[in-house]
Amino acid sequence: MRMLVGGVRCAVSASPIPGTESPKRLEENANAVNVNLSSAEIAELDNAIAPNAVHGSRYPDRMMALITR
């Protein structure tokens, strides 16, 4: 997923945060769109995790069989 930062497309990955239960936390999460990152901060985030650091299936094969019908 790509996101916009200050109107510029960047390679920072973003994920929604499911399970927000309180209005206060929902407001905090929604206000994340107001965060402005510098080019240096974006570069730091891009380099924080190696591109191939995450690998493998989300669930064990027997569980994947139950959800990919």
Model confidence pLDDT, tens digit, residues 26-69: 888 888 888 888 989 888 888 887 777 777 888 888 888 888 66
Question: What's the whole-number mean pLDDT along residues 5-26?
Answer: 66
Task: Mention every residue, 6+ apart, whose C-beta is less than 8 A from residue 4.
Answer: 10
Tokens linked to 14: 């973003």
Asked whether residue 2 carries a pLDDT value surpassing 60, the answer given is no
pTM value surpassing 0.75: no
CB 42 within 8 A of CB 5: yes
The per-residue pLDDT for 47 is: 83
- The DSSP output letter for 4 is E
Domain boundaries, the chain: 3-67
C-alpha span between 69 and 67 (Å, rounded): 6
CB 45 within 8 A of CB 12: yes
